[in-house]
Amino acid sequence: MLNNYSATDKVLLAVDCIIFGFDHEGLKILLIKRDFEPQKGEWSLIGGFLKNDEVLDHAAARILTTYTGLHTIYMEQLYTYSEIDRDPFERTISVSYYALINIENHNAQLIENYHAQWFKIADAPSLIFDHNKMLEYAIGRLRYKTSIKPIGFELLPEKFTMRQLLELYESILSKELDKRNFISKINSMGILNKLDEKDMQSSRKGSFLYTFNKEKYEEKLLNNFALNL
């Protein structure tokens, strides 16, 4: 049997994760300062290498859990980067993922232990290798998907105000939205549950809180609906 690949070239397979988070300051990206060469001390995406007993999705989930402490994370495979000289140390192919998490839910101690840091997208430092390209591609994908379908609820608390949802979309799309039009479109989809509770910190009268209705959202997906913001 032809079962000997000793004559073929060997390359490393990396998994790089673009981890987006959201808080009152807007959309953020989680970055880590490298503690090894090449480019030691420079900022990098969160990543690691595929193990022999893993598929790519499991490797990405492992990396995300290691650095955030979260086990249930929205993530999506994005693109494969195979430029020959993308890593100056050794030939490495990288598969990128983007993930959405609620900053309030992550394990802050883990992030501190790994010398990771949240940056507002506009203030993110220059990154190693082709990680700037990966980040740019991920932002583009997130903006596109957000403009046509409700996405990003993973970035919000379980209970949120309509204002928080509007601010999330404006932060992702990097533009101001018409408040009435936005609320009208969201409400018409029936994918939110309006609660009797109010957030009393937002105003004197308070703002009603909402939760995301996943079942209704999945029903809408089957009908190929579009948000068109």
Q: What is the mean pLDDT of residues 194-206?
A: 85
Which burial class, exposed, middle or buried, applies to 194 when counting CB atoms under 10 A from its CB (0-12, 13-18, 19+)?
A: exposed
In tens, the pLDDT along 204-219 reads: 788 999 999 989 888 8
Coil, helix or strand for 125? coil
What topology is assigned to 157-222 in CATH? Arc Repressor Mutant, subunit A (1.10.10)
In tens, the pLDDT along 64-101 reads: 999 999 888 889 999 999 999 999 999 999 999 999 99
CATH of domain 12-148: 3.90.79.10
For the chain, the domains span: 12-148, 157-222
**18, 32 Cβ separation under 8 angstroms:** no
Indicate the pLDDT class of residue 2, thresholds 50, 70 and 90. low
CA distance 149 to 121: 22
Q: How much is the mean pLDDT over the chain?
A: 90
